[in-house]
Each structure stands twice: as C-alpha cells, then as structure tokens.
Structure 1
Amino acid sequence: MTTDEQQIRTLIEQWAAAVHRGDLPGVLTGHADDIVMFDVPPPYQGIRGIDGYRECWPPFFEWQAQGATFDIESLDITAGSDVAYAQALLRCGTSKEFAENPDNRLRLTLGLRKEQGRWVVAHEHHSFPLTGN
C-alpha cells in the first residue's frame, strides 16, 4: 500500500468512525468545500457544497441513534498523484433491517483530490441495491 493509499484509508476510516459517533465536525473533516454528494434519501439531484453536506447529516444521526450500525466491511482504494477513488461496502441499518435482509450493504464510492498536499473528498455517493418486493 502506498503512502497516499494509507492516508486515504485513514481519512475514510476516521470519517466512518465520526459518522458512527454522530460527530458532525469529524464527518466534515477532510471534505472539499465544493463537495458533491449523491445520497440514498432526497434530494435526488444531489447535494452540492459543504453547507448542504453539513445539513444532511443530523437526520441520519437521529435515525442511527435508534440503534442502527454504520461499519465498513471492505474498502478498496486506487490513488494517483493528485486524484483517487475508493469504494466500500458498509453494514448500515437496524437489527430489524438486517433480520429482513441480512446481506444488504450500503455501497460507498468516493472521489478524492489532493489539495495543498492533503487528500479531500470531492465526491461521495451512497446507494443500496434495489430489491424486489
């Protein structure tokens, strides 16, 4: 693993730990001011900018406080000299949701760029696979 890949892994693991704790300042750390995020809940056209990103987390933290998990299961990183991407699978859900669909995982894709010598997340995409009813 390269130094850049290790720096990115640390950034993502610290972000996921902050999400798990409901630590908004920790969640924002390492994100670009012009972040674009496509998330599971609306708005479906995405969230643009760090202010919008900041505003989307409190409802998630409220839901998570009811007993949901947010844990990285796998994380793969590819890094160039100034851009990188990462993809991960996370256990994200309540015990009831996992009882109903034990294999369901949140899919996470991140696009990163190096700014002033440090990696920042410029693009974040969360999704769940569609399942038939």
Structure 2
Amino acid sequence: MDTAAFVVSSEDQVRDLLFSWARAVRAKDVGAITSHYASDVVAFDAVSQLRICGIDGYRQHWDACIDLCDGTKTFEIRDLAIETGGDVAFGHYLGRCGGTDAHGEERSCWMRVSVGCRRTEGRWRIAHEHVSAPFDLETGQVLNDLQP
C-alpha cells in the first residue's frame, strides 16, 4: 500500500479559504466571516466607506451589512483565479452578493472582487480585499443588472 502524504497546493488552500469565507457570509456568521481575515486587513468595499483598516473596523462593517439582509443571504463566487508565490497570494473573481428582502424577493448583483492573501504561521488569511461595482460613466448609475 502506498502511504505517500497527500500534499495540498497553496492555490487549493487559498481556494478553500475563500469558499469557506463565502459559506460564512451565506450563514450570516460575522465571527466566522472575520476569522478569515488578517488582523491588519485593509478593505475597499463597495458599500458605505472609502477604506476600512483592521479587523475591528471590518467586523463592524460586516455587522452592518448582515443587518441589511432580512432573509437568506446570497453570495456566490464565480470565475475564481488564484496565483501564489511563497506566503502571498492574489486572487480575483466575480461575486454575486445580496439577499432576500422583507417581502421574500431576492435582491442581488454581480460585483468585481480582488483579494490579497498572506500565509502566517501556516494559515492563509485575507489581508486585502477590494470589492467594486461597475457603473455608467455618463450617468454615475451603478450597473446592477450586468451578468457574467
């Protein structure tokens, strides 16, 4: 019997981190969500603030985001691409974010997401996150109805 150890690539570990994080978002579990981030995370989210620095600030931001969703939380990762080198990784994907409103209707849109991850003490965490929404340059209106 071959007892060779199974080696998980850094790319697979980062992919697992991001999909675990997405499950925590759908579960609306802010503690689980923020456990995926480095304590010194810097985030450029598409909602409400120009920049968020540190895990405490991002925890407050996530609390507010989760409170906006009365029903089921929607979060989907699509077209994920990851590059790793040593203890750093970069990834990008399209993320469908939203949820059901008080009337049970789903309200979601596709966003663009870039992440920078760092491995510390053998564990990958998100150190930088940038979420943006496409918009019409002439009108300034966010383009919520675009599809991948």
TM-score range, shorter chain: 0.7 to 0.9
Matching of residue 12 in structure 1 with residue 18 in structure 2: yes
The TM-score with structure 1 as length reference comes to 0.84
1:42: Cα distance to partner? Answer: 2.4
Q: Distance in 1 between matches of 2:110 and 2:91?
A: 16
**Cα drift, residue 50 of structure 1:** 0.6
Query: Which range moved further: 66-75 or 56-65?
Result: 66-75
Correspondence for 2:122:
117
TM, length-normalised to structure 2: 0.76
SS at match of 1:64: coil
How far 1:56 sits from its partner (Å)? 0.3
Describe how 1:25-104 pairs up with structure 2 within 5 A.
Answer: 25-44=31-50, 46-67=51-72, 69-93=74-98, 97=107, 104=109
Residue correspondences, number: 126
Q: What is the CA distance between 1:75 and its match in structure 2? A: 1.0
Distance 1:68 1:114 in 2: 28
Q: 2:107 & 2:59 partners in 1: Cα distance?
A: 26
Structure 2 counterpart of 1:105, from 102, 106, 110:
110
5+ residue gaps, structure 2, are: 1-7, 100-104, 142-148
Question: Which letter maps to 1:10?
Answer: D
Residues 39-74 of structure 1 deviation map (CA, whole Å, 9 limit, x = unaligned): 112221x00001001100122112233455211122
* Residues in 2 aligned to 1:96 and 1:24: alpha-carbon distance in whole angstroms: 21
Q: CA RMSD in A?
A: 1.9
Structure 1 unaligned regions, length at least 5? 99-103
Query: What is the rounded CA distance, in whole Å, between the counterparts of 1:119 and 1:84 in structure 2?
Result: 9
State the secondary structure of the residue aligned to 2:20: helix
Structure 1 distance, partners of 2:72, 2:127, is: 29
Instruction: Find the aligned partners of 1:69 and 1:13 in 2 and give their Cα distance.
Output: 13
Following superposition, the deviation at residue 5 of structure 1 comes to: 0.4
- The structure that has the greater radius of gyration is 2
* Identity, % of aligned positions: 37
**Higher relative helix content:** 1
SS in 1 for 2:68: helix
